[in-house]
Amino acid sequence: MKLIILDRDGVINYDSDQFIKSPDEWKPIPGSLEAIARLSQADYRVVVATNQSGVGRGLFDMTTLNAIHDKMVKSAALVGGRIDAVFFCPHTAEANCNCRKPKSGMIEEIATRYNMELQGVPAVGDSLRDLEATARLGAQPMLVLTGKGTKTQAKGGLPEGTQIYPDLAAAVATLV
């Protein structure tokens, strides 16, 4: 089985410093949904792993988060893509949970769910915490320069072997 792990905000959809708090605020980055379709057609299982502290902060509830994810899944399906699963951490940084990236609890859960080692599995993110959480388990870190990606690249300190791409579509083009 081929698996790929994608961050959500800044990779699939536009990010916002004020959080994506409703389905109306969720807007795909051009080419991202088509990239997911290409992955699906190449027999990848597409999994999203996303920190969603807006829930823990009380900015939106689980019903709203589910509606946002429903819009994302349906939007991908409309262009022939399939998002196999969405894993998320609803906690704030202050909760110090194990599932919030850069810790790897959420990523470990993905490995357990799919009963596989993550060695070499492509993992696409726009922030250092995305890359650290997946690289820790042997996944292939891929930084996209959308979202926070340009700032992340400028700060440096990327995990060894991090590949850098302008956006998700460019990253996917190297895989399929």
For position 75, what pLDDT does the model report? Answer: 98
Number of domains in the chain: 1
Phi and psi of 135, rounded to 5°? -65, -30
Classify residue 80 as left (phi > 0), alpha (psi -120 to 50) or beta.
left
Here the CATH number for the domain that contains residue 117 is: 3.40.50.1000
For position 1, what pLDDT does the model report? Answer: 87
Phi and psi of 102, rounded to 5°? -90, 0
Q: Are 15 and 147 in contact (CB under 8 A)?
A: yes
Domain that holds residue 124: 2-175
Report how far apart, in Å, the C-alpha atoms of 143 and of each of 41, 62, 102, 134, 159 are: 22, 28, 14, 12, 10
How does pLDDT run across 2-43, given as a tens digit for each residue?
999 999 999 999 999 999 999 999 999 999 999 999 999 999
Phi and psi of 2, rounded to 5°? -100, 135
Mean per-residue pLDDT of the chain: 97
This prediction's pTM = 0.97
The reply to whether 167 belongs to the active site is no
For position 162, what pLDDT does the model report? Answer: 98
The reply to whether 9 belongs to the active site is yes
Contacts of 12 (CB under 8 A, 6+ apart): 6, 28, 29, 32, 33, 36, 48, 72, 168
Q: Are 106 and 89 in contact (CB under 8 A)?
A: yes
Q: Are 76 and 48 in contact (CB under 8 A)?
A: no
How does pLDDT run across 71-93, given as a tens digit for each residue?
999 999 999 999 999 999 999 99
Out of 9, 15, 126, 167, the active site residue is: 9
Report which residue type is found at 147: G
Predicted confidence band of residue 163 (pLDDT cuts 50, 70, 90)? very high
For position 175, what pLDDT does the model report? Answer: 97
